[in-house]
Chains A and B, each alone.
Chain A
Amino acid sequence: MTQHFRNLLVTWIVLLVLLGAEFGASFLPLVRSARPLILIPVVLMVIAVGTMFMQVGRGPTIVRLFAVAALVWLSVLLGLGSLDPMTRIEYLVQDASRN
């Protein structure tokens, strides 16, 4: 019991440290395209909340199936949705009104 409370407290401290890390990283002079790297601590925070506060590993097996399915479909959604902006080639079009 005491160990469980200690684990919860450690998780909370880790979350605050990660929050501080992403907060500090947001002020770094990164180039605009590299700025989404600030989201790396976010992934760790989500994992921490999922495993310790939501206890994804504790419930029945189907719980983990639903959790993994959610992540898979989220990846599909974000991956397929990002394909267009990431791969589209913009061709310069001559302005016809200037001719």
Chain B
Amino acid sequence: MSETSLPHEFQYSSASHQAATAISGMWLFLATEVLFFGAIFLSWIYCRHWNPAGFDAGAQKTQLAIGTINTVILLTSSLVYSAGLAFVEVGNRRRLIQCCVITWALGLSFLILKFGFEYYKDFTANLFPGPDFAINGALGGGARLFYVFYFVSTALHGIHMIGGLVLVGWIVLRARRDEFSPLYYTPVAVVGLYWSFVDVVWIVLYALIYLVGRGS
């Protein structure tokens, strides 16, 4: 079957035109996401500039080990998903499904570590910026701002992760129904872009939250 004879929606001249539009659409969406998270990164710059000592005092209380393990998990998940995409390009549907299931499991482990263990430790250590906040005195204000940044940014990232898990699960279901082939795998590529972008956001957040204030 030639590429031009593949099924496509009426508004596209060919299946490849439809695929290119879908890929471009995802990149445009990701560009808006860059600005969404950019505002959060700007809040980090602004708040840390005015409260450097308090911000660093807050950063030193974060769970570095869990954050680092989670970073390795996400980097590995992007590698595995990219391998799955390469497999479907040569028609290996079984390997695609395996890669997506591993990616899904890695994503779920990230969420369990983040919200099941790390948040639990943070709340039991009174690091949620409320009336019993653990860091007081001159550094208290800056540390509170740091933990507002921490909880808002990680929660938003977590919501994006949950969205990614839903999408990867959807790819698994469609692959099991044998809907992908070397001639049609656009949804696999589009979801891969989203998954790697969520990885990129975490790469930045990891450094801002756990590393910059660590050795002060």
Binding site for B on A (CB under 8 A): 1, 4-5, 8-9, 11-12, 15-16, 19, 22-23, 25-30, 32-33, 35-36, 38-39, 41-42, 45-46, 49-50, 52-54, 59-60, 62-63, 66-67, 69-71, 73-74, 77-78, 81-82, 84-86
Contacts and interface: CB of A to CB of B under 8 A. Distances in A.
B193 interface: yes
Question: 6 tightest A-B contacts by CB?
Answer: A70-B31, A26-B211, A85-B49, A70-B34, A66-B27, A26-B214
Chain B's interface: helix, strand, loop or mixed, by majority? Answer: helix
Interface of B: 20, 23-24, 27-28, 30-31, 34-35, 38-39, 41-42, 45-46, 49-50, 52-53, 56, 68, 71-72, 75-76, 78-79, 81-83, 86, 90, 192-193, 196-197, 199-200, 203-204, 207-208, 210-216
Given A26-B215, A28-B215, A63-B23, A81 B56 contact: no
Contacts, number: 134
A12 B76 contact: yes
Nearest to B32: A70
Instruction: Summarize A's interface: helix, strand, loop or mixed.
Output: helix
A69 B38 contact: no
